[in-house]
Structure 1
Amino acid sequence: MKVRGWTWATSWSVVALWTLVSLLVAMASLTALFTPTWFVRHTPSPPTMFGVWAWCVGGEVRGDQQQRCAAVGQSAGEGHHGALPSAVWVMVGALYGGGGALLGVTGVAALVVPFLPTTQARAALAHVSANIQAAAVSLQAVGLLLYPLGLGSPFVRMQCGDAASLYASGTCELGYAYMLALVATALAAYCPVLARLITYKDYTDYWSNLNYM
């Protein structure tokens, strides 16, 4: 008689998509982390920008004026003194940076998955990576929510005016690095879902030689 059974199979299209997205969000997260354009002030001159770990003064080279950058808390040149904005930003660096590092590790794991010999091994590594990616997204989301708490610090008020306060940037504007961080975190939220879809039940019909009374 004909019997229907199933076995676990690998969806290579999902594996390729998961690997691509995992690598992209890892690179985007780390790029955003080290780019000092989370908030930008265009006027008055010279323009100022700052991120989690660095800040810059000036723009394109004009005569003897050029962009000067320094770690947050250090001077970016004569007359442009820095100060540690907030202990919250130290926490943001640890949270978002830790999440980015975890995404980087899972991106490498995603590259290894296609070379594993069995579907079960691929599923096991993908599920572990999915749990790590979920934790990374949670860390990054908390970091992104905490970062605007530092906008009320003396450092930011000196750069963005007295109107700057918690979750209000005063004369500064949202920069592309913060937007990149938001987009990377939002896309990374899909990675755990894709990781759990790389295997599926492949149903097949076959003939059984069992005799039933």
Structure 2
Amino acid sequence: MRDHRDSVGSALAFCLVFISACGLVSPVWFQSDIFSFGLFASCSWPVGKAWNQTCVAYRTLDDIPDLAWKASAALLLGGWLLLALRALLLLSWTILPKDFCPMKERIPTQYIQVASVIATLMGLLLFPFSLASQVAQDACGPSAVYSSGRCHLGWGYITAILALVFTSFLPIVWRFQGDETREKILFSSITERIVFISNR
């Protein structure tokens, strides 16, 4: 039962890592009719020709045009790395023999996940501060902190929020499922003892 739960937990963890990565690399966190920008990229296109896009990638923090934007990128990337670390730990515990993982019970992966959630949440809350940057104002008009002007939310930001929600709530569901499983085992054990005593 434990190995099965570890396998499912590892698969779910990698799904969350993939969903989070899709949100992070998306250049569509905020979008106008001719421009979009995300955490690590921005794109522009002629009016009515969204298929003909020119994109610029922000490969380092120095390339990112605003301080709040840089802080948000650092926090979100850190949260994603923690999430990936947890997924790798779960995978190693699933595929390696137990003798190779003596630290398994000593590494509380739930704390790694909590740290990932906190870093991601702070990064998502901080990113709208970048709407006051010159890049955002050029694209969105009279934009300011938490005011997107002519821009609207894009799929990248929404994907990042959904990934955070899933990362936050899946451990709760998983813990509840684990408690339910333990209760069934305890109930089964008690039932077997009662039957054994009654047969005597």
TM range (shorter): 0.7 to 0.9
CA shift for structure 1 position 96: 0.4
CA shift for structure 1 position 107: 1.2
Q: Is residue 33 of structure 2 the alignment partner of residue 53 of structure 1?
A: no
Tell me the equivalent position of 1:178. Answer: 157
Tell me the equivalent position of 1:145. Answer: 125
Matches for 1:50-199 after TM superposition, within 5 Å: 50-58=37-45, 66-72=52-58, 84-115=64-95, 116-117=97-98, 124=105, 128-162=108-142, 164-193=143-172, 194=174
Could you tell me the TM-score, scaled by structure 1's length?
A: 0.72
Contact 1:18 1:195 survives alignment (8 Å) = no
Which stretch has the larger CA shift, 189-198 or 90-99? 189-198
CA shift for structure 1 position 100: 0.6
Could you tell me the TM-score, scaled by structure 2's length?
A: 0.76
The structure with more radius of gyration: 1
For residues 53 and 168 of structure 2, the distance between their equivalents in structure 1, rounded to whole angstroms, comes to: 35
State, as a whole percentage, how many aligned pairs show the same letter.
24
For residues 40 and 12 of structure 2, the distance between their equivalents in structure 1, rounded to whole angstroms, comes to: 26
Q: Is residue 5 of structure 2 the alignment partner of residue 24 of structure 1?
A: no
Tell me the equivalent position of 1:35. Answer: 26
Unaligned runs of 5+ in 1: 1-8, 74-82, 208-213
CA shift for structure 1 position 113: 2.6
CA shift for structure 1 position 20: 2.5
CA shift for structure 1 position 57: 0.8
For residues 13 and 152 of structure 2, the distance between their equivalents in structure 1, rounded to whole angstroms, comes to: 29
Q: How many residues align?
A: 180
Q: Is residue 10 of structure 2 the alignment partner of residue 10 of structure 1?
A: no
Unaligned runs of 5+ in 2: 195-200
Q: Which has the higher helix share?
A: 2
